[in-house]
Amino acid sequence: EFIAEHPELPEIIARLLWNRGFKTQTEIDEFLNPDYSTDIHDPFLFKDMPKAVDIIFSAIKNGSKITVHGDYDADGVCASVIIISALKKLGAKDVDVFLPHRETDGYGLNKKTVQYLKESGTQLIITCDCGISNTPEVTLAKELGMTVVITDHHAMPKTFPPADAIIHPLVPGETYPDKTLAGGGVAFKLVQGLLAEHKKTNATLPGGGSHEVFEKWLLDLVAISTVADLVPLHGESRTLVRYGL
């Protein structure tokens, strides 16, 4: 019946779509011909997005030192570049990045790094592709007076870090519809939120330039993140990769 309903599809394609669970016309269209204008979700569907955006713009306005803490793999590096690029484009003057060494630092935040970031003058830490499992480290950062925004996509821990905002599609009760974004995809959603908020009161970016054009020029990095991290290529991730390519 499905094959008969879709005479426009080669039979092998129809069978593959059926076996992958794409059975409605909407699902088929989104999978085969993703559209950036309709298949990308509102970043403010993340419950903590307004909070994260307010924190970051406050830090930019106050001239606070912002450090982006990434990861050492392709997803983490690209996610870091996505956020760093946006912060600088939005006028942040004191921005740094910390990419941990696989062997000496290990994955995610560690207490030595948190102490180092504090000593280097960091006031706001933004994690990407890590952080959700770093409760002791985030607790230390808070005790040292730093603000922490987490962007991550990894499995849920038993206890959650006391971050000031968490952008993560798998947090219990999270309303964001796409649950399989890569770290670079989550970082991109944060940037989308920042750009959307800035556009409300500014026709162009600081120094000129279109919000939409800058956003789309980040998609090549989102594509590398998504493909390299082996997340499922459907839904929003597929759309982001299509346009990134």
Tell me what pLDDT residue 28 has. 94
pLDDT digits (tens, 9 = 90+) for 135-150: 999 999 999 999 999 9
Tell me what pLDDT residue 137 has. 98
Task: Show the DSSP H helices in the chain as ranges.
Answer: 2-5, 11-19, 25-32, 49-62, 74-89, 111-119, 135-143, 183-199, 211-216, 219-228, 235-244
Tell me what pLDDT residue 13 has. 97
Tell me what pLDDT residue 91 has. 97
Measure the CA–CA gap between 115 and 118, rounded to whole angstroms: 5
Position 240 confidence tier, pLDDT thresholds 50, 70, 90: very high
The pLDDT of 33-55, averaged and rounded, is: 96
The pTM assigned to this predicted structure is 0.95
Asked whether the beta carbons of 108 and 125 are under 8 A apart, the reply is no
Q: Which two tokens stand for residue 66?
A: 């912002």
Tell me what pLDDT residue 131 has. 97
The pLDDT of 174-191, averaged and rounded, is: 97
Measure the CA–CA gap between 2 and 25, rounded to whole angstroms: 11
